[in-house]
Amino acid sequence: MALEYSRLGAKLVLASRHPENLEPTVAEIHKAGGDAIAVPTEVRDPEQVDRLIHTTKQEFGSIDVLVNNAAGNFICKAQDLSPNGWRAVVEIVLNGTFFCSRAVGREMIAQRRGGKILNILATYAWTGGPGTVHSAAAKAGVLALTRTLAVEWAPYGIRVNAIAPGAVSTEGASSKLWGHPEAEKKLRAGIPVGRMGKAEEIAYAAAYLVSSFADYITGETLTMDGGAWLGKGFLAYQ
């Protein structure tokens, strides 16, 4: 998403807890002639989020777009999930999204020229997610947050939307969520289009939803899962 935004001319502030997750992308953007900075940030800490906003304003003067993409997830049965495991995921996904949205929303309201917020969900926000109860509950909260802020902040010209990706072939997802070839094969078999998503496909949609082409869209979630969540009726499709 960052690379696609940069290709389209955006100036970027990338945030993550660990600098090593940021520096390669910043370097790639600079190499391509783009403009980006890295600000290590723990989104669970409102003070660090405020520092992120302050640094962004110092560097670029204003904020036009926020993408809430910070998340945590791992497979665990609900009865085996520790309180710390629950808190870690919910605080990153739900609290972090709210803290960042609140801080950026205040700036956008003060700027008086609107803005766009994009949240990254998952389809189990509404289907439920056995094995990922912490993430499913948190993502459901972000879905409600998306719809609520879309209404509250529409008078200020702020649009709030979301993307709900299904299985996307990335190193992080592969290692944490399906793990081995048999699990991946089974997962792919449940996707009507017969393949996993590509990161660039999510990036193209992310660019569209924060562009002027989508100015009449707010409070919506664009599902990008190859039809996977739809084929769950009691009659098996053959």
Q: 44 in a domain, yes or no?
A: no
Q: 137 in a domain, yes or no?
A: yes
Q: 190 in a domain, yes or no?
A: yes
Q: In what order do the strands lie in the sheet with 115-120?
A: 65-68, 115-120, 158-165, 221-224
Q: Quick count: other Cβ atoms within 10 Å of Cβ 186?
A: 10
Q: Which domain holds residue 110?
A: 65-227
CATH of the domain at 199: 3.40.50.720
Instruction: Give which of 153, 127, 150 is closest to 140, Cα–Cα.
Output: 127
Give the Cα separation of 36 and 25 in Å (integer). Answer: 9
Q: 33 in a domain, yes or no?
A: no
Q: 21 in a domain, yes or no?
A: no
193 has pLDDT over 80: yes
pLDDT band at 236 (very low <50, low <70, confident <90, very high): very low
Give the Cα separation of 215 and 160 in Å (integer). Answer: 10
Q: 14 in a domain, yes or no?
A: no
pTM for the structure as a whole: 0.92
Give the Cα separation of 44 and 153 in Å (integer). Answer: 23
In the Cβ-directed half-sphere of 209, how many Cα atoms lie within 13 Å? 27
The residues annotated with a catalytic role in the active site are 124
Residue with the two structure tokens 């009726």? 233
- DSSP track, 187-208: HHHT-TTSS-B-HHHHHHHHHH
What tokens does 33 get?
């002639």
Q: 160 phi and psi, to 5 degrees?
A: -130, 115
72: left (phi over 0), alpha (psi -120 to 50) or beta: beta
Q: 60 in a domain, yes or no?
A: no
pLDDT (0 to 100) of residue 176: 59
Q: 58 in a domain, yes or no?
A: no
pLDDT per residue as tens digits for the range 202-234: 999 999 999 999 999 999 999 999 999 997 655
pLDDT per residue as tens digits for the range 132-149: 999 999 999 999 999 999
Q: 8 to each of 24, 59, 117, how far by Cα in Å?
A: 19, 19, 17
**How many domains, the chain?**
1
Average pLDDT (176-183) is 68
117 has pLDDT over 50: yes
